[in-house]
Structure formats: structure tokens, C-alpha cells
Chains A and B, each alone.
Chain A
């Protein structure tokens, strides 16, 4: 007996995905949003490229000393500092430090914060309550202060080449872990009651497999947004650590916050080039990352929520945009309904 198999209509492919990263994101934006995103991309790309090619671009080494304070000239386009460093070279090498620290901080904090959030949300019970209490305590505390204390503990004041960057990254990591924890935990609590999780349990999948196979895939969409938002914060924290003297030593890497600290006393002598240029570098890179982060946040409609079912300002903004412009509405992927989550 032959049965004519009627081919089931394949689900319509929603949208052609481009292979170039960021292009999909760009396509979903329009007007002002797109301009902001583009400016952000250009700024960040610039800093990453400068960081990558720092040895070729910088006229001198970041720890190369010259005789005293020199004004801007042909040999030193942005002058030198009181300590005798070439300002332009320090800025260029500083890009490398900034990019390295951001990457390390984000990798470390996701590697710790995400599993903790998953386990806490999935297992629940007393473990969850204790972890939430600890993370909330750390989250509410002034983050810079926490980073300073950790930085002192790790480096003990003297940081080597790798140690300087690593300890700065770990100090920043500590303040981000509670953020990843909160986002992932809240999303996990929502997702773990879904039928497919029940199904996986019935099939006999181990809790670890359910957590990292089934649940993680469904909560991970909130992570990239948080990552970009954190990237800008990590630069500011790195610079603040450097400014207060708890950051990377000037001989082990170029760091803008340290340079700004040294430039503070130059103000009285009317020397502006030692402070203004590293400061502008910080402002530009943070602006670039923030622009990308805000656009991502607007477009992806994340599960980035505070506890207790309240939503973030940006989600509200999306809601506003979605109701105003139908173009953006199509772009927003359907996120699981996050209302009524447990707090």
C-alpha cells in the first residue's frame, strides 16, 4: 500500500540572515537609531584597530621616557607629561589596555555570573535565597569601592605586566557578576516552568544538561545587551581605578586614568594637553560602546529586568518606539512574556 506523502509546508524563513556581524542589527534600525548605531560601531572599531596596531601606530613605547615636560611639537605631536612620557603614544597604547581589560572582564564575569544565576534560579530553595541576598548586597554597594578593595587584595599595590591587566579585569568582574546573576536568575525562573523543560525532565535529562542545554539557550538572549552596557562601565571603572592610584602601573601598560591623575596637578601650570587628550579618548570609547549598547537594548527587547516584575527604562522606550513606528515593531523579536515573574 502506498501512501502519498504530502510534504508538510516548511515554516517560512523569517528573514535572511547576513553573515557579517552587526549587519542584521543595522537592518532592523532606522533613522536616528541607525545613525547612533553607526557612530557607535565606527568609534569602537577605531579604538579596537588602534589597539591592535598600537606597535605600528605609536611613535614611541608607552614607558619610554623623555627629558621632562615638552609642549606639542613635531617630534611629540601631543607633547609629553611631567613624568616624561609621550602623550600620543600613551593614548595609542592605552587603547590596547582598554580593549584587553574590557574583553577579560566580560569573559570572566559571564563565565562566573551566568552559571551562578542558572544554578540559583533552577535549583531554588535556600541556596537561591542566600545567593540572592549576597548578590543584592554586592549590587547595592558603590561598585567603584568594591573594585578598589578587590584590586588592593589582588595586586597588593604592585602589579606586573599581565598581573596589572588581569587584576584590573578581576576587580571589574566582581562588580559585574551580580548583574549577570540577577538577569540570568530571573530569566531562568521564568523559563524553568516551560513545558520543554518538563519534557526534558521526563526524558531523563540530568539537571546539568537541562540547565546548560535547554534553559541557557533560552535565557542567553539577554546577555549581549548587558555585555555592551557593561563594556562602557568597565572602561570607566578601569580609568577610575587608575585615577585613584589602584590601577595598572605606568611601566606595565598605558592606562588613561593614571595619566589623568598625573595631569590633575598640571592644571595649575596651564598645561592642558596631558589631561585633555587621554580624557577625550575615554569619552569617545565609552560613547561608542554606549551607543551600541543603547541601540542593541532598543532593538533586541531583552529580558533585562529588575527584580519584582518592574521593567527597565529602555524597555519602556522600546514600547514607545514600537507603538509609534510600525517599522521597528517588525524588528522586535517576540520575547517570552516576562510579566508576573517571581521576585
Chain B
């Protein structure tokens, strides 16, 4: 959670995009850019490989899935037989080679618990729920984080700034599951406004899981496709508390980021120049400073994906939101290593791709990025 927040410190705030460079110059720039991006892209492979390897050996050090599942429940002979059948009695390095070979061919193995599914099935079944949760969380983070950060910067070191900063620190300090607990106590228990947990009520879930074609497995999309306002309302009601719990955590980061970047931009020469020309303060903030201040925020947002995925495990567990995080916790408890390795690999790929895309965006929109 303690991600460093890259901003445009010590550099002039980004003003207008660079004037179109002359042909000769731009060839050099784009060649260098392409080379840089190619290297960055190729580096994704060892990054993912390192994570897969680390997780493989860490998990296998504790034993094998069969023993974890049957330990105590089966006779030693039966256990040995099952282990032999699954190949878990071979040297670990052979198993590792085997696993990597499978991964290279797109075969991640099958889960031991929760009905022998392939990892692809697990990802497509539970992934959409996580995407939906992260989507709601991002909306909350934007709606809360950006205006508050802007307000704090405009009233730098005065009461609104102090209050908003305190708010941001408190939301950083409060674990997601505690926020979840308080939200549940207030909105479900005391006020009876919102459901305690789940993605939808039983009836709605049945409709959304079976009667919608094409089935996106993202409930809000399914609900809109189905077109019944009651169903959409039910899905939205279930999304509010989990979205808030995950979103407020990220909002704390956004507040800090927007505030600091806007403060920096407000001191830029062109903003002073605008003020000197007699442009109203509100217009200065809105038209001149705010958009430029948002550039680093946009790029840093991608970095939040790791934070969001970590937060999703806790949020999903708190609200019994059956997404990847919820099931990852279940698989971890059951020591279902095949499932854990598969999900971890997926997360590693997502994180590595996200960081590549951020670098790409950064390189494209920010002319000061050096290669």
C-alpha cells in the first residue's frame, strides 16, 4: 500500500503538448521510443516467470495439495497412491519443470478442490465479478478522490485542506475490512437500507446467471441486457457497500495525488501569467491548472491496480463477493496450490501488462520521458 507516488516534481508542469517535431528529429525520437518499449515488453516475461517460480517453490515447500486435502482423512497407503498418481512424489525440480512446460503450452493444471476446474474456467467464472468490483471501486475513488484533492489544493493549509488531509489519512489507516464492517453496521444493520453481502439477491442472481444471452458474468451488464429496472436496482444496491469499501481506500491515494500535483501546477509560470492577466481564480484552477495536474494522476492510476487487487481480496472476503479474490482466499486456505498458482500467474500478467501500458502512455503523452 505504500506506493511511492511519482509526480512531476522538480520539473516544469506539463503545458501544451510539444509542437510537432521536425521529421529528422522525430525519427530519432520514435526509434528510441520503440526500442525502449520493445525492451520493456520483453521484460514482462522474466517478471512473470520470477513470480511464478517464487510462488511455486514457496507453496510446494509446505507439501503437496493431495496431502493437504486428504491429510488425516486417508490411510498412508492410499495417500501415497494418490500422490503417486498425481505425480507429487517426484523430485520438486522435476515437478517444477513439468509445471513450467505445461504453462508454456497454456496448461495450468486443474484445481484440486471446488470441482476439478481448469484455471481458465476459474478465471472466466470468477474474474468478471472482480472486474465489476474494481470498476465500482474506481468510480468511488474518482468521484471522491479527485474533487476533494482539488478542493484541498485550492484551500492549501486552510481548514478544508486540513480536514481533507485528515480524511485521507484516516482512510489509509482504516483497513478495508474495518470500513466494510462499519458500513454494514450503519447501512445494513441500523438503517436497513442495503444488503449485508453478496453480488445480488438469490432471485436476481438466478435470472442473471441463466436467462441472459450473451452471458457476460458481469452482473450490471447482464442486468442492463435483461432490462428489468428491479434487477438493475438490486445489482446496484449490492454494489454500493463493496464499491465504497474498496473505493475509499483508493480515494485516499487519489486525494493526496491530485492535491500535490495541483499545488505544484498552481505554482507554474503559466498559471501565474494567467492570474496576472486577471483571469478569475476559479477559471485558473479549472482551465489552466487542473487538466495538466491530472496527467500524472492518470498514469499513476494504473499503478493502483496492484493495490486494488490486494484490496479486492479483503473486500470480496468481507462481502462474500464471489470473485477471484474471494476464491483465492478459499483456495489458499484449502492449500489448493494448482488453483493458487494459476490465479497468481494471472495476477502477475495483469500487473506486468498494466505497468507496461502505463509506461507506454507515459512515453506517449509526456515528452520529457527519457529512454
Contact = CB atoms under 8 A, between A and B. Distances in A.
A133 B47 contact: yes
Is chain A's interface secondary structure helix, strand, loop, or mixed overall? helix
B10 A283 contact: no
Interface string B1-26: 11011111110000000000000000
B175 A282 contact: yes
A304 B351 contact: no
B6 A312 contact: yes
A82 to B, nearest CB: 14
Nearest to A135: B50
B122 to A, nearest CB: 16
Interface stretch (A13-21, A87-95, A117-125, A284-292): A284-292
Contacts of B58: 149-150, 152-153
Contact of B177 (A133, A243, A305, A319): A243
Given A141-B347, A290-B173, 9 more contacts: A137-B348, A152-B335, A260-B181, A279-B174, A313-B9, A314-B260, A316-B260, A317-B260, A319-B10
Contacts of A143: 1, 306, 310
A311 B175 contact: no
Contact of B264 (A246, A263, A316): A316
A106 interface: no
Looking at A257, A275, A306, the one whose CB has the most chain B CB atoms below 10 A away is: A275
Contact of A142 (B162, B175, B196, B306): B306
Contacts of A320: 260, 263-264, 267
B310 A144 contact: yes
A141 B173 contact: no
Contacts, number: 198
A109 interface: no
A294 B5 CA distance: 13
B62 interface: yes
Interface of A: 32, 133-134, 136-138, 140-145, 148-150, 152-153, 156-157, 179, 229-230, 232-233, 236, 239-240, 243-246, 257, 260-261, 263-264, 267-268, 270, 272, 275-276, 279, 282-284, 286-287, 290-291, 294, 304-306, 308-317, 319-320, 323, 339
Contacts of B48: 137
A143 B303 CA distance: 13
A156 B169 CA distance: 35
Interface in B195-241: 196
Contacts of A272: 185, 189
A210 to B, nearest CB: 28
A312 B59 contact: no
B162 A339 contact: no
Nearest to A287: B173
A283 B264 contact: no
A136 to B, nearest CB: 7
Looking at A145, A240, A304, A311, the one whose CB has the most chain B CB atoms below 10 A away is: A145
Interface in B142-167: 157, 162
Contacts of A244: 313-314, 317, 329, 332
